[in-house]
Amino acid sequence: MAARLAVVFLAVSSAFLSVSGQKFNAIFSFGDSMSDTGNLCVNGPPAGLTLTQPPYGETFFGRATCRCSDGRLVVDFLAEKFGLPLLKPSKQGGADFKQGANMAIIGATTMDSGFFQSLGIADKIWNNGPLNTQIQWFQQLMPSICGSTQACKSYLSKSLFVLGEFGGNDYNAQIFGGYTPEQASGQSATIVDAIGKGVEQLISLGAMYVVVPGVLPVGCFPIYLTLYQTSNAGDYDQYGCLKRFNALSAQHNSLLQSKVSSLQSKYPGARIMYADFYSHVYDMVKSPGSYGFSTNLRACCGAGGGKYNYQNSARCGMSGAYACSNPSSSLSWDGIHLTEAAYKKIADGWVSGAYCHPAISA
């Protein structure tokens, strides 16, 4: 009898560990340039897209792969950690997506085009696959991934979903369209509500493990530090970041955390995780040496211009731009996105729970 119980216990433990230990069937990713592994370039990159040029991709792939970094992204490291292949872009024809697919696309927003039209800034977005559209792309793939509706419910319940980050481009469009950070913050509740609805859509399809990242401290990014630099020392915090822009990100994240908390209560059977992009990156800015970085506010790849090595007219991948000799010592890759080294640390923080609540791996 004891031996039989032991066998049953082991069987139950193995089944439990396959989920609690996070041996996922697949990873499905949604988002923007922080996550895109090639969707924008599947049918040929748009003219003038610099990230298809060296030195993008040089650290890991040895070539540009349409990723906005020198190498792998957070979703790549998550796939590696859980023994899954790197995520193929969902627009890649004829691919097998049973172990994962990436719906993320560069320039993606949370909100649909009508939102930006209502603000008079429709010309400031690419709107390549906003959140609702990406979920539609995923639904179109589902029959080839898991078959029937019931089979998909089972399969997707043991898969990991990463929803974002979303929101960054919604705010970028407003800021570049002439809105102040304070004015843009007036749209935060609408944007966060849309993200929450996206989470609920995925749960309705069968998702049980959903990571919802917040937005980053853009006031610490070379693009913002260059374009919106001022002579007023009071506009900067003690680490050299622009306070108004970080306040916008912080407000979004506060609302998003509350939204995630309410969803956790509404769906107690699901594991909905808030990934704290902001705090982790800001900690790297505050103590770069602790993370192995020698530079935190200066882009690794650029034309060498200015305090932050960012110039719109000579961005990474453009003529005259070049990468620093050791990208792994930099937090920022091109002034807009992070280095592979930073993304690896972020993925580690999400899996361990240091910067993800609850942890992916617990």
The confidence score (pLDDT) of residue 3 equals 41
Contacts for 169-173: CB closer than 8 Å, 24+ residues apart: 169/32, 169/107, 169/108, 169/109, 169/110, 169/125, 170/109, 170/110, 170/111, 170/115, 171/215, 171/218, 171/248, 171/249, 171/252, 172/124, 172/218, 173/109, 173/116, 173/121, 173/124, 173/125
pLDDT at 11 over 60: no
Lowest-confidence range among 13-27, 142-156, 159-173? 13-27
Percentage above 70 pLDDT, the chain: 93
| pTM of this structure | 0.93
The confidence score (pLDDT) of residue 45 equals 79
- Span 90-108, average pLDDT: 95
pLDDT at 25 over 50: yes
Lowest-confidence range among 8-17, 120-129, 135-144, 233-242? 8-17
- Span 126-154, average pLDDT: 94
- Residue 46: asked if its preceding bond is cis (omega within 30°), the reply is no
The confidence score (pLDDT) of residue 47 equals 79
The confidence score (pLDDT) of residue 251 equals 98
Catalytic residue among 33, 90, 185, 188: 33
Mutual orientation of helices 277-286 and 340-352 as an angle, nearest 10°?
120
Rg (CA), the chain: 20
90 is catalytic: no
337 is catalytic: yes
Q: Which of the four pLDDT bands, split at 50, 70 and 90, describes residue 15?
A: very low
- Span 150-173, average pLDDT: 97
> Higher-confidence residue: 43 or 156?
156
Q: List, for residues 50-97, the tens digit of each pLDDT value.
A: 999 999 999 999 999 999 999 999 999 999 999 999 999 999 988 999
How distant, in Å, are the alpha carbons of 71, 180, 222, 241 from that of 28?
20, 34, 30, 33
The confidence score (pLDDT) of residue 5 equals 36
334 is catalytic: yes
Instruction: State the CATH architecture for 26-217+240-276+343-357.
Output: 3-Layer(aba) Sandwich (3.40)
> Tokens 């970080």 identify what position?
246
The confidence score (pLDDT) of residue 305 equals 82
The confidence score (pLDDT) of residue 128 equals 80
The confidence score (pLDDT) of residue 8 equals 36
Query: Cα separation of 219 and 237, whole Å?
Result: 10
The confidence score (pLDDT) of residue 16 equals 33
- Span 163-174, average pLDDT: 97
The confidence score (pLDDT) of residue 362 equals 54
pLDDT at 12 over 50: no
In the chain, domain spans: 26-217+240-276+343-357
The confidence score (pLDDT) of residue 210 equals 98
Count of CB atoms situated within 10 Å of the CB of 228: 15
Q: List, for residues 219-271, the tens digit of each pLDDT value.
A: 999 999 999 999 999 999 999 999 999 999 999 999 999 999 999 999 999 99
Percentage above 90 pLDDT, the chain: 88
